[in-house]
Chain A
Amino acid sequence: MPASSPLSPVPLLSLYRGMVRIRSFEDAAEVASQGGVAAWGKEASAQPALVRGPLHLSTGQEAVAAGVCAHLKAADLLTSTHRGHGHTLAKGADPTKMMCELFGRASGYNGGKGGSMHIADFSVGMLGANGVVAAGLPIAVGAAQGLKMRGVDAIAVCFFGDGAINRGPFMEALNWAMVYQLPVLFVCEDNRISATTDSRAMTAGPGASARAAALGIAALQVDGTDVQAVSQAAGELIREIRAGSGPRLLHALTDRHKGHVSVDPGLYRDPAAVAAALARDGIGRARAQLVEQGQTAEVERIEREARAEIDAAVATATAAPPPDPGAAYTDIQNTGAGVWA
């Protein structure tokens, strides 16, 4: 497609479906995680939670994942953050195998070895959530370089948060992508909070897009709660990248509705700011627009189907067996496999 041809917008109903599936997944995972870890003065429950470990919810940020991934092909590669369920679902992963992984089941994507923080589906090009802030950026530029070297017609996309732009790998990876003119889209999900601290108090300058511009990387900043705005901007940037433009950056201002992890009540946040974030929820706004367009029946069908899909995922994951202890010794390395002491 020539870079000048007009981009046909992704239908709002389709974007809405993408967001609702993520919200349903996050809501169900949140319920399943309560009491899983001791945190914020509360003990872990005596009865182990179904999701035992830290669960970083992307609730409120769905429009970014849905809007960007609507433009990706199966061959495109993606790296994510510790808050990666939405990216994984939007790239095409199966919510049942994802939920099984969160529940630590043998039938999860990683056989129970990774959990939420390492959710991944390599079969759809989703190369993994990451427990280390900014670690996905160098991996994404290398994936883009590998695709380019092998002559594969695909791009890499890298999600990261506003906290990541203060780590060295952010600058290194952007510079690298520009130097080698790599087919990579950087997506900053700027929820303006780094774990539990306001990012603005510790970030010089206006943020990710300004830092990209300093390296000559064209960037767009959008309202990351407006799924159509995200989709339109991502579509334009991805079209340019596929046409050989080199790297691009999308700076999406978004809202994290929940705490840093699911058991964090987020009491350190300004209640008025949280209320404002909930009021501008991208899912609610898209829904209102669709209802106004007379698509209530379709909206309700999407919501019903998403709930049913996630309910089934939870039921399957609840019943699924844990990995055999012997699996702790597999998938480590070829050389010396079997020698662990």
Chain B
Amino acid sequence: MSAALQLTYAQAAALALSQAMDADPTVLALGEDLGRGGVFGQYRDAEGQPLVQRFGPDRVIDTPISESTIVGAAVGMALAGCRPVVELRVVDFALCAIDEVVNQAAKNRYMFGGQGRVPMVLRMPIGIWSASAAQHSQSLEAWFAHIPGLVVVAPATPADNHGLLLAALASGDPVVYMEHKELWPTTGDVTPGAVVPLGQARVARAGGDVTLVSWSRQLHTCLAAAEQLAGQGVNAEVIDLRTLWPWDKDTVLASVAKTGRLLVVHEAIQVAGFGAEIAATVAEHTDAKVARLGAPRIPVGYAASLEAEARIDAGKVTAAVQRLLRR
């Protein structure tokens, strides 16, 4: 394992992919615009070179705008002995391939009685970004957490976007891998080759008064809220869930045993969001007070004043914690 590098969230993933492609000739990537390094530059190395220059167009495959076949072909590639990494650009477009994700990739192993495996990573970036309105801004992680056969991952930091992608590639499962579009340029220390195990949460900030559970960009919102709360005399513990399925119940339950209060925060719509699953599980296992904070059940609007209604900021988190403390 080498020394830590300063990398962006996007570069951290590209480094993981290129390491995996170096180590295993059956690993390949496919998706729209990969030939020029991906629409967000997430298929370029730290020097800015598109990965296709190093691995060639048979392993970094520029595809037609054919989402059904991007995912369906990846299932066929996996069955023919490859380990594809599928780029879907934004999760909203993955809906064009929902049969291939839910009925084909996720079900293959089970319905054929374990005859085959479909190891693949399905990169489906989530989240609100830069006035992109209703069809480019969704956070649909709960949809996929509902489907047996799938793993669901949502990294919040460059180190995790490196280490979780390595783990996803090695898992042998179809992994729905949800990066956040507003995290691409964030930077951090990345140790090349440092795997982050799937299904293990991280205590990002220790505290004893209330447990905040979040993932992806909202982790950073929760950390900012925790600083505000500290000024109000409230010491919040912040947990980065990192993997939504399987999620790390032990870490969450251990924290809530200490604090007695849980707030789950996510950018996805609150109604039937994954926060409901976590809150219900904690309520079933403890006497803790539980609450959720997600977006209202509205599409993301274009105008800044509309978009802001769908965003969760640190002020909303702090207010939700104060309500929870008063209950």
Residues in A neighbouring B111, C-beta threshold 8 A: 110, 113-114, 118, 128
Say yes or no for A42: interface residue by CB 8 A criterion: no
CB-based contact B150/A333 at 8 Å: yes
Measured CB to CB, the nearest residue on chain B to A327 is: B113
Which residues of B lie under 8 Å from residue A130 when comparing CB positions? Answer: 104
Please give, as numbers and ranges, the residues of chain B lying within 8 Å of A22 by CB-CB distance.
Answer: none
Q: How far is the CA of A146 from the CA of B61 in the complex (A)?
A: 12
* A127-B116, A139-B73, A330-B114 known, 20 other contacts, Cβ within 8 Å: A77-B80, A110-B112, A111-B114, A122-B112, A122-B115, A130-B104, A135-B104, A141-B76, A142-B84, A145-B80, A146-B76, A146-B81, A152-B80, A169-B68, A176-B64, A332-B109, A333-B173, A333-B174, A336-B151, A336-B245
A103 within 8 A of B: no
In the complex, chain B residues whose CB is within 8 Å of the CB of A150: 26, 80-82
Proximity string of chain A (126-155) to chain B, C-beta cutoff 8 Å, 1 when within and 0 when not: 011011100101111111111111101000
* Contact residues on B (Cβ < 8 Å of other chain), bracket: 35 or more
B residues with a Cβ closer than 8 A to A are 26, 28, 58-59, 61, 63-64, 66, 68-69, 71-82, 84, 99-100, 103-104, 108-116, 148-151, 171-175, 198-199, 245-246
9 interchain pairs, CB-CB under 8 A? A110-B115, A111-B114, A139-B79, A140-B76, A143-B77, A148-B58, A169-B68, A336-B246, A340-B148
B103 touches A120 (CB 8 A): no
Q: Do the beta carbons of A173 and B72 come within 8 Å of each other?
A: yes
What residue of chain B has the Cβ atom nearest to residue A119's Cβ? B112
Partner of B79, one of A114, A127, A135: A127
Q: Decide yes or no whether A339 CB sits under 8 A from chain B.
A: yes
Contact B77 A169 (CB under 8 A): no
Q: Which residue of A lies closest to B65 (CB)?
A: A172
User: Contacting B151 at CB < 8 Å: which of A113, A335, A340?
Assistant: A335
What is the number of residues of chain A that contact chain B, defined by CB distance less than 8 Å? 53
List the 7 closest A-B pairs by CB distance, nearest first.
Answer: A138-B72, A142-B76, A336-B246, A146-B80, A142-B73, A110-B113, A331-B114
For B173, the chain A residues whose CB sits under 8 A away are 333-335
- The answer to whether residues A122 and B64 also contact, given A110-B111, A132-B99, A142-B75 and a CB cut-off of 8 A, is no
- Map CB proximity to B onto A72-113 as digits: 1 under 8 Å, 0 otherwise: 000001010000000000000000000000000000111111
Tell me, rounded to whole Å, the shortest Cβ–Cβ distance linking B285 to chain A: 12
Asked if A217 CB lies within 8 Å of chain B CBs, one says: no
Minimal Cβ-Cβ distance residue in B for A147: B80
- Distance in Å: Cβ of B197 to nearest Cβ of chain A: 9
A168 interfacial by beta-carbon distance below 8 Å: yes
- Check: A156 CB closer than 8 A to any chain B CB: yes
If A172-B64, A336-B245 touch, does A137 touch B72 (CB 8 Å cutoff)?
yes
Does any Cβ of B come within 8 Å of A179's Cβ?
A: yes
CB distance from A329 to the nearest CB of B (A): 10
Q: Is A316 interfacial (CB 8 A cutoff)?
A: no
Q: Is the CB of A335 within 8 A of B198?
A: yes
Chain B hits for A114, CB < 8 A: 111-113
Q: Which residues of chain A from 137 to 190 have a CB within 8 Å of any chain B CB?
A: 137-150, 152, 156, 168-169, 172-173, 175-176, 179-180
Whether the pair A139, B104 counts as a contact (CB closer than 8 A) is yes
Please state if A156 and B112 are interface contacts (CB–CB under 8 Å). Answer: no
* CB atoms of A138 and B68 under 8 A apart: yes
Instruction: Tell whether, in the assembled complex, residue B77 and residue A142 are in contact, meaning their CB atoms are under 8 Å apart.
Output: yes
Contact of B69 among A147, A149, A173 (CB under 8 A): A173
Q: Are B73 and A145 in contact (CB under 8 A)?
A: yes
CB distance from B327 to the nearest CB of A (A): 27
| A169 CA to B63 CA, complexed, in Å | 14
Report the bound CA distance from A139 to B99 in whole Å: 12
Asked if A138 and B75 make an inter-chain contact with CB atoms under 8 angstroms apart, the answer reads yes
B109 touches A333 (CB 8 A): yes
Q: Flag if A135 contacts B28 (CB, 8 Å).
A: no
A109 contacts which chain B residues (CB < 8 A)? Answer: 112-113, 115
Q: How far is the CB of B30 from chain A (nearest CB, A)?
A: 9
A168 contact set on B, CB distance < 8 A: 68
The CA of A340 and the CA of B198, in the complex, are separated in Å by 16
Least CB distance from B153 to A in Å reads: 9
A137 to B61, CA, bound (A): 19
